[in-house]
Structure 1
């Protein structure tokens, strides 16, 4: 292969800039620190390289001493011409531009003294058997290049064969005149350093060992400094080099990246193949089975989705450790004050998935802790992406504006949201957890519903302000009103099994609010066993109820009493929305259509519903109803007058109803892909 010495010398020049740039540090990415290098010093470096090649030509891959002398790179004048030919003062891989300066820097005289001292040291340099040059006996060395040959060289005392003025073997007549020319090299950020090293790694591999060797001996014998640092290695041909510039190191580096990319491509291919195989299998089952089998397929899909999104015990332990560590760090940061950090939301309710964020509440002695100081504490302990924002969900639970601190734990990559002193949220989470522990179908149904609403944009962060907490309360109330009921009413007195006495509720008042409920979930194990609906049937019936049956105009969802009741504050002046719609129920259609869908067994309508299962074409979307001023009401189980879905008004209510209708129609036809796909709403 033909050697491009111009390109090699250009890469060497960029590496020299990199070594000097490493002597100053980047200041917060602003490149405010710079290193001023006189061209006379740079010329001496190229003179050193040329002389090094003359002494060790047989051990190097790309001798370029003649190129350096022919282009006068060992002279200031030659370097000025060389640098001015470049657009930014750099050749190819140095990430930032350098400035060619024509003035007299303050170190002009001192640089001459420093160069003279280096030349005197080189002139009398004596080294032992491990050194580079010596006045002793000759050293025999060979470099492995695919040939069984060896070269012998006689080491000689160091001489300036090429002075910086370009007169070979002439005495150095250095003056301070050349110090009027210098280049200003900016400091590099960590990103710049990594960019340079990756660009260097992909340079021709024949360059690497030569540059590794030259940088090593330039540092030791010419610059008398350690540059960008890094381990030193010994080559098999009796020379040393800087490891990160060597061929073997960079080949291994590239190989690891390529190996990871190949593994990822293979993994993606296998994953895609598995997904395709699963899709084909499901399609074949749908074609082969009758309408009675569709529910079974949907049920299997939801359970698998729930299982795939569940967090492993190891991950749960990592989250527990994160909470303990964070609690200790916050206490330490605020002078070891007593603080308690509690999980809330999906993690506290044991409903978290691998896509869930971690919601936390900081209690204890937090009187003097503000969101701003809490953010400072998190940044102090190197948590990432720390920010302060208003809690969109918390604003719907309180009349006051609540701030939360969001951040990312770098060890687990979990996004966390930290709120100050929110005990009500903790008890809300405990209530949800108790219902979840009572009924094993609760978790899979909730995961499926969350998937449906998120992909149809009816969640907190998209078109409709709608929290997971609201969906949980809707599901609890729905299961409480099933026939027979699947969940008990934990906030209401419950008769004992003998029916003579009621189970007492242990009173719990938090911030003046009654947070009492029966926490003995084990007592209610098997409560819903009489209701044999599958997970798929419950999801389908839930979508049918909130898509076609529920009276959004006049009723509220109230999990505290376990009912969809008329709103107490309502003065009805309009006909109920539920009475103006023709939605599906458990009975067959009485119309004349011959394409009536088969009713799914076990889907019982609410006692206040008179709808029927019909074809998709006969399902009305309430086109004639005005939604202006309409508000969806989901009442908080503790703050009894608080509507947590108050922002869901007007056209947003219509969008939510239609999304549940769309999901129901897809599930009723057994079209899983459509049901769980992104909606156009």
Structure 2
């Protein structure tokens, strides 16, 4: 298939490039025939997901199973398993179609039927990605994929048989069958599936054996002869089974693979009388096999999700702070408030919890975060937080230290093995915690997801704001917006956008949100288990979210293109000059709560989500959670 290439792949031989081209076109063929798209549109995200799965198959298969596994290096280097890499491939290196293939490449009517129409990138809104609703409000590149006519399909498949290298056929047939089952999640009842000598199932009409037979048939039936259609895969299967009968192999196969009633029909109809061999009987068996495989795959998927969800439920139980620990923290808060009031003789002083113990996302190792309100310390000799630390020591707390130069100065001490941190007059933090607490009570899956995602992050070393990674708070905002905007149907409402939001202002910031309406049944239409939602979360932030150009906007409840630019940094400021990731605060909407996360660390965050996603796809829970 020689043709000029717009993008030079100098490090790869022709076979590597041509195999990728063939895989791309066969994927389009399969989608054009069988995949239901809104407006016949196939997004770059969907194609990239397919190539990511192919890469995964090559990585974890025996080298002898695939002749073209070497193509994995091509997929990796040119990032065809990412939406951006796939978009570049289509835009710069579109394989030849009936509209752009040089006429010198083919002869006769073949030159019109490599691919029936041009492959051009378009833009649209509101696409779907593997069952997860894609980003609303952003332009997503896609290809128009219309259904083939019967003539177009047959001509394409004839070209496949004649011109695609035979060494590609079995690999393409196996990959297409795996993509149908695991990515497109469907069965094609009009197609038969065969078993190759290596034991792998493959789409019959794409296999080498079928197309060798088809080439011979095509030479007996010239392409230009009118009303001549290539032989069907049922006819091929029928002849194959006749040969098996002759060799005595069919009886054993039927006994091993089919139900008793079908065995009886086939053994009586085929073994008893070959002259009465009925293609309809083959179709009956194909239908049964496909239904059986579909049932098995559905059952496997359900078992995988159930196992993941059960693990997540156990993790939540073991990680969540006990009622006794929560009571201890509440007692500490009350004691600090009472002692400070007595010490200053000021009974308007209030001490509020914020953070995980206020939001309900507390574990046994969580800090007790407090803010002291209405304590007005005016000392000309030391900062207010230093005075607060001194006061805490005076009223009986031991080893109290202060950190006056932090972004939010704090006083710290330990009591009953609990790390306690107190700051002054930070009611925004208290209100933030109330917002998160409200969200966590709407759907029980929220807490289950949060503890699992945090555990994955901790085990992969990406949860540490002090070292330039994500904070637990930033991770929480990512989860909230994912459940508001990406899941379909959505699981969490946009409380800050509700018309029932209670007007509330703190330090000039609008902190209104709806805390009165009962939303407990809001996400009932989404029946996905916590395990499936975890997989979707990891895939979205691993492969779909554009870290460099998009933002997580909790106030709007949306993932959208960047609306905030980073502030100017001084030369001595060690924080990133640009924001490699942008996760906005729900109330201070121009503050990036992940602003300290550097480019290399953001790459590690994305890699963490990708590796955990692939581990769960492989049902390797221990690997995903680094157990």
TM-score range, shorter chain: 0.3 to 0.5
Structure number with larger C-alpha Rg: 1
**Given the two structures, how large is their TM-score scaled by the length of structure 1?**
0.44
Higher helix proportion: 2
**Given the two structures, how large is their TM-score scaled by the length of structure 2?**
0.48
